[in-house]
């Protein structure tokens, strides 16, 4: 697999082209970049000093129990539901940051923090993922995160990786994790050999 090009975060025409290709608006792209970059500030990375921020672009479920309990009718677009800010069009942005531990394998990556927050809030529709770091070129999600993303996203979900200058690379889940193992690889309940 060839390395995808690093695209300029300052090139408005390039950003518009990227957005058209991955099915999000320019304002959603800008919000993903802003929120993923801001999420880095919440990272707990006292050992590696490697800050990672992530933000998910999600669609709130139609049967959003939390929204119903909060009395959704007539609320403004900045209503906070289950700790998440709902934007226009039932769009939800879910942030995450890496959280380390002195026992290195126990740490949690930004992408998994964001996905865990979304999933436990009832969100299951993910339109895009943004990841931001303090290095250049952009860093991609680790192998464990790629597998975790695969569980909840479609193979065509775009992952936008921003570097310290807001330049970016976009790849799909399928490009980051080819020949992946997912729920569809497991035998259905009651299949021969399954107890």
Catalytic-residue membership of 12: no
128: β partners: 57
Q: How distant, in Å, are the alpha carbons of 69, 74, 111, 158, 168 from that of 121?
A: 13, 21, 15, 22, 29
Q: Would you say 96 and 111 are in contact if contact means Cβ atoms under 8 Å apart?
A: yes
Helix axes 110-120, 143-152, angle to 10 degrees: 20
* Backbone φ/ψ region at 119: left (φ over 0), alpha (ψ -120 to 50), beta: alpha
Radius of gyration of the chain (CA): 17
Q: Which two tokens stand for residue 123?
A: 């969100």
Which of 72, 100, 111, 151 is flagged as catalytic? 111
Measured at the CA of 84, the angle between CA 79 and CA 90, to 5 degrees, comes to 65
C-alpha dihedral sign at 64, 69, 70, 73 = positive
Which residues are identified as catalytic?
111
């Amino acid at each position: 697999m060839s390395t995808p090009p690093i695209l300029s975060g300052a090139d408005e025409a390039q950003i518009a082209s990227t957005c058209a290709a991955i099915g999000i608006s320019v304002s959603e792209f800008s919000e993903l970049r802003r929120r993923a970059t801001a999420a880095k500030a919440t990272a707990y990375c006292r050992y590696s000093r490697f800050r990672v921020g992530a933000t998910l672009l999600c669609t709130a479920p139609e049967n959003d129990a939390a929204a119903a309990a909060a009395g959704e009718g007539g609320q403004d677009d900045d209503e906070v539901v289950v700790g998440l800010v709902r934007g226009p069009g039932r769009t939800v942005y879910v942030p995450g940051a890496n959280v380390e531990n002195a026992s290195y394998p126990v740490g949690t990556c930004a992408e998994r923090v964001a996905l865990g927050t979304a999933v436990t809030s009832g969100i299951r529709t993910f339109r895009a993922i943004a990841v931001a770091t303090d290095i250049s070129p952009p860093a991609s999600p680790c192998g464990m995160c790629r597998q975790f993303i695969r569980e909840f996203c479609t193979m065509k979900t775009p992952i936008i990786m921003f570097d310290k200058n807001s330049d970016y690379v976009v790849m799909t889940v399928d490009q980051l994790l080819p020949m992946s193992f997912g729920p569809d690889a497991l035998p259905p309940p009651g299949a021969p050999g399954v107890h």
